[in-house]
Amino acid sequence: MNDVVSTIFMFFNICSAGYVVVVSVTYLIQLFYAFVGLKKYKKSLDYSTSSRFIESENIVPISVLVPAYNEEQTICDTVKNLLSIDYPNYEIVVINDGSKDETLKKLVEEFNLVEINEPFKVSISTEKVKGVYRSVNHINLVVVDKENGGKADALNAGINISQYPVFVSVDADCVLEDTSLLRIVYSFMNDPDCVAIGGTIRINSGCEIENGKLKSVALTGNALFTIQTNEYLRDFLTGRIALNEMGTLLIISGAFGAFKKQAVIDVGGYTPKCIGEDIELVVKLHKNSFQKNLGSTIRFMPDPVCWTQPPDNLKDLIKQRKRWHIGLADTLLKHKDMILNPKYKKIGMMTLPYFCFFDFIGPIIEMLGYFFIPLSWVLGILDVKFMLGFYLLGLLYGTILSVGSLLLEENIFGKYPKLRDVLKLLFFAVVDNLGYRQIMTIIKIGAMFGFRKNKSQWGSIKRRKYGDK
């Protein structure tokens, strides 16, 4: 009996240790690819002529879609920010998705909106549009008031009413840098096959934002914000760039991404009632491209930056992460026919299995390790050296990845000018692995169990006005 138990325990222990080694090596490879990709990108900035288009009529005109649900705290600042962006020809389409708070009222008052009987082409069917408002003061601002249907439905309504060939989706709690739109759209101009481009999201807590404009970048003293800052740097400057470099990008964040409108309409728009509408759309675009042999490209740009407001408490953070994970699970399930299907080349053979392994099987194996390894030591099955080695390895690889991302940030962008801030990020790169990462793993596992129940809810978290500490 004892032998059987100890064999089972050892099996789980070796699986967990093996998983941590595989993860470490995979992430180190990603870090290397990200370094190569960013180096290339930095060089291209030297001779990029994008700035010539700041006042040019020759840049692609775009529609900026801002879906809003109960966003009364931030919506006006977000719109003010978007109105002040350096871009020659664009419209802002705010879609009020049946908010229960005063989102619409605030917009009407702040921007002097007038209801107008605007007919529009319904390319994608959506919940009923109750009214369309245009601003007396700002010719390029339009607000759509519709019945609640979820973020995907709101974005589809925005696509219907938008009039330009490229749209950029921006979350209602985000602030864009002055040249973000120009940089993200400029890529479309140089790649006719490109159907979607994702931009980088960063945490705006601690940054000085005045009238919806980003004045300076800094960190707050709040540990949760700083840990999330590291997390975003890791995800965007390592994960996404590496996947982009390998031609296998699967996620374009809903908070900031640019799309060719016709390509999105061709795949039926965002899938309604889909919680991970952003990732699902990208998968659909890939699928359509392979099925129709279109040769479309989907890219990620590290430089156009969108600064977002993170959840400020653990409860909201858990809610947000659960939603992300459910969104990923929902997408993978919806498109399970693509997984390990050679027809979909690298996406089917590499990226989708990668997400299945590291985001679904991975957390379970990791958790089993956290449980079985100390238990094995207590039961005398395992040497203490093995247990310490396992934990140290987990700590080291997580920290290397965070510090590596910080190094890339510093080398290419240097957005944090104060040494104090860099040291703070460095400190939390270590702390991040002593509890926070484990909590995130538990959330991922928890999300899988609540998947069916939660898979079509708007992910609203408590918003703060800009300037609130």
Partner 1 sequence: MKFLIEFMDYINIVFFTILVVFVLVLILFHIYSGAKVKANKRLEKRIIRLLDEGEKGESKIKKIKKLFTPNGIRLLENLATNVDEDKVESLRRILSTEKFTRYFRDNLTFKNQSVALLTTKMIAEIKLDGFIPEILTNIKRWEDNSEAQQVGLLALCLNGKNKALVELLSHKDFKLTVSFRTMQELVESFNGDRIPLFKELLSRNCDTYIYRSCIQSIGNEKIYELAEDIMPFLNSENLNLRISTARALGELKYKPAKDILLKILQDSDWELTSAIVEALSKISPEDCYEIILPFVYHKEWWVRYRTAEILVSLQDSDKLITDIAKSNDKYASEIIEYMLQRKELMKERV
Query: Closest approach of Cβ 235 to partner 1, in Å?
Result: 18
Place of tokens 């969104």: 327
| Alpha carbon separation from 17 to 285, 366, 373, 433 (Å, rounded) | 37, 8, 9, 16
* Total Cβ atoms within 10 A of residue 270: 27
Cα of 2 vs its chain's centroid, Å: 48
Long-range pairs of 420-424 with CB within 8 A, sequence gap ≥ 24 = 421/218, 421/219, 424/219, 424/226
Query: Closest approach of Cβ 46 to partner 1, in Å?
Result: 5
What are the beta bridge partners of residue 175?
A: 307
Binding status of residue 406 toward partner 1 by CB under 8 A: yes
* Total Cβ atoms within 10 A of residue 394: 22
Q: Are 303 and 413 in contact (CB under 8 A)?
A: yes
**Contact letters for partner 1, residues 419-438 (x by CB under 8 A):** x--xx--x------------
Among 5, 8, 14, 29, binds partner 1 (CB under 8 A): 14
Q: How far apart are CA 38 and CA 97, in angstroms?
A: 38
Query: Closest approach of Cβ 442 to partner 1, in Å?
Result: 24
Long-range pairs of 46-50 with CB within 8 A, sequence gap ≥ 24 = 48/186, 50/179, 50/182, 50/183, 50/186
Binding status of residue 189 toward partner 1 by CB under 8 A: yes
Q: Are 252 and 298 in contact (CB under 8 A)?
A: yes
Among 341, 386, 445, 461, binds partner 1 (CB under 8 A): 386
**Contact letters for partner 1, residues 36-75 (x by CB under 8 A):** -------xx-xxxx-xxx--x-xxx---------------
Residue 96 has phi, psi (to 5 degrees) of -85, 110
Query: Closest approach of Cβ 91 to partner 1, in Å?
Result: 13
Q: Which C-beta is closer to partner 1: that of 101 or that of 110?
A: 110
Total of residues contacting partner 1 (CB under 8 A) = 54
Place of tokens 């159907």: 195
In this chain, which stretch among 77-85, 166-174, 300-308, 399-407 interacts with partner 1, using CB under 8 A?
Answer: 399-407
Among 114, 361, 378, 379, binds partner 1 (CB under 8 A): 114
Binding status of residue 136 toward partner 1 by CB under 8 A: yes
Among 190, 221, 293, 342, binds partner 1 (CB under 8 A): 190
Q: Which residues bind partner 1 (CB under 8 A)?
A: 14, 17, 21, 24, 43-44, 46-49, 51-53, 56, 58-60, 114, 116-119, 121, 134, 136-137, 139, 189-190, 192, 382-383, 385-386, 389-390, 392-393, 396-397, 399-400, 403-404, 406-407, 410-411, 414, 417, 419, 422-423, 426
